[in-house]
Amino acid sequence: MNLYRILYAFLSVSGLGILFGVGLAVVSRVLAVKKDELVEKLEEALPGLNCGACGHAGCSSYAEAIAVSSRSEEAEEVPLTLCLPGGAEAASALAEIMGVEVDYTESRKVAQVHCRGTRDVSRQAFRYTGVADCNALFALFGGDKICPYGCLGLGSCIRVCPVDAIDCDEQGGVWVDRDTCIGCGKCIDVCPTGVMKLLPYDADYLVACNSKDKGPVVRKYCSVGCIGCKICEKKTPEAGFVVGEFLSHIDYEAAGDRAEQREKAAQSCPTKCIVRNAKPRSGEELIPAAVSADKKEKEESDSKQQNT
């Protein structure tokens, strides 16, 4: 009797399974939806990161928008150059499929943290032990740092980055690897202080500070903040430094022999907040002259030796 029950159980469930399986297979044949070949081709030409930088929900919806706009006259024209991660390569691939020429002049932009005020050089108002999320920390008096503009260092941008381009050290120094960054801007949206900003991919230097406070105020809470002294603007006028709201920033479009001038500016900056836009642990010295701790220097010289 018990054996029969086992048999019945087996037969009924497998019978139902086969019945539903065959039924679904038949129905799927009947209701098959034809896929658009053009859309599929376009989708293949896109990187498939679904980052949303083009303003569409994902790569497939961007491909579909292009296809739709090419077929009907009424639909709004969709440019082929919207894909930031794909850049010129994706734009030309899309153009080839669509049979048109594109002029891709837009330079590649990457995100970077405009702050080097890690917890050892920037003063804190209180100790935060809550959830490790920048927006949660920002909700408490605008963060634990006295500086209201700086990087909070809890890595919300790291978690939101689709390509893992952002890194963080123990002191809370967050850094974007410009070769990995695709410029989708997700980190900029999530950052509560606005310290994450876009700059051109080939930017050699950046002013790593976001503080719009006056010099003496900045000096009180951070030793690597921009104090708006205008030394960079006056000493090296060709480097493209512009100081406004007590904060220096670089006009990357400015002409002139920039590399040398900017290196000079970086060396003459009293708080050393003009830094090279390179990964800090790549063995290169980020700041031309040593900043503060001997440890950092030693580490860097060690890695230099390994490189050579």
Size of the site for other proteins (CB under 8 A): 17
Q: Is 3 in the site for other proteins (CB under 8 A)?
A: no
Q: Is 5 in the site for other proteins (CB under 8 A)?
A: yes
Stretch of residues binding other proteins (CB under 8 A), selected from 92-100, 115-123, 135-143, 203-211: 135-143
State the virtual CA torsion across 77, 78, 81, 86 in degrees, nearest 10: -160
Q: Min. distance of Cβ 172 from other proteins in angstroms?
A: 22
Cβ atoms of 184 and 121 within 8 Å: the answer is no
How far apart, in whole angstroms, are the C-alpha atoms of residue 303 and residue 308? 9
In order of 92, 135, 147, 148, 211, the CA distances from 140 in angstroms are 47, 9, 13, 11, 19
**Among 31, 105, 305, 307, interactor with other proteins by CB under 8 A:** 31
Q: Min. distance of Cβ 81 from other proteins in angstroms?
A: 25
Q: Is 303 in the site for other proteins (CB under 8 A)?
A: no
SS3 221: helix
196-200 and 205-207 strand pairing = unpaired
Q: Which is nearer to other proteins, 46 or 110 (CB)?
A: 46
**Among 33, 37, 76, 255, interactor with other proteins by CB under 8 A:** 33
How far apart, in whole angstroms, are the C-alpha atoms of residue 121 and residue 104? 42
Stretch of residues binding other proteins (CB under 8 A), selected from 28-36, 160-168, 265-273, 297-305: 28-36
The region, left, alpha or beta by phi > 0 then psi within -120 to 50, assigned to residue 293 is beta
Residue with tokens 């296809």: 67
Q: Is 27 in the site for other proteins (CB under 8 A)?
A: yes
Query: What tokens appear for 152 in the block?
Result: 């909070």
**Among 69, 92, 135, 180, interactor with other proteins by CB under 8 A:** 135
Q: Which is nearer to other proteins, 6 or 255 (CB)?
A: 6
Neighbours of 132 (CB within 10 A): 13
SS3 198: strand
Q: Which is nearer to other proteins, 138 or 205 (CB)?
A: 138
How large is the C-alpha radius of gyration of the chain?
A: 27
Q: Min. distance of Cβ 32 from other proteins in angstroms?
A: 8
Q: Which is nearer to other proteins, 17 or 244 (CB)?
A: 17
Contacts of 17 (CB under 8 A, 6+ apart): none
Q: Which positions from 79 to 118 touch other proteins by CB under 8 A, shown as an x/- string?
A: ----------------------------------------
Q: Which is nearer to other proteins, 190 or 254 (CB)?
A: 190
**Spatial CA neighbour of 63 closest among 88, 81, 86, 38:** 38
- Among positions 7-26, residues that touch other proteins (CB under 8 A) are 8-9, 12-13, 16-17, 20, 23-24
**Given the rule CB under 8 A, which residues bind other proteins?**
5, 8-9, 12-13, 16-17, 20, 23-24, 27-28, 31, 33, 135-136, 139
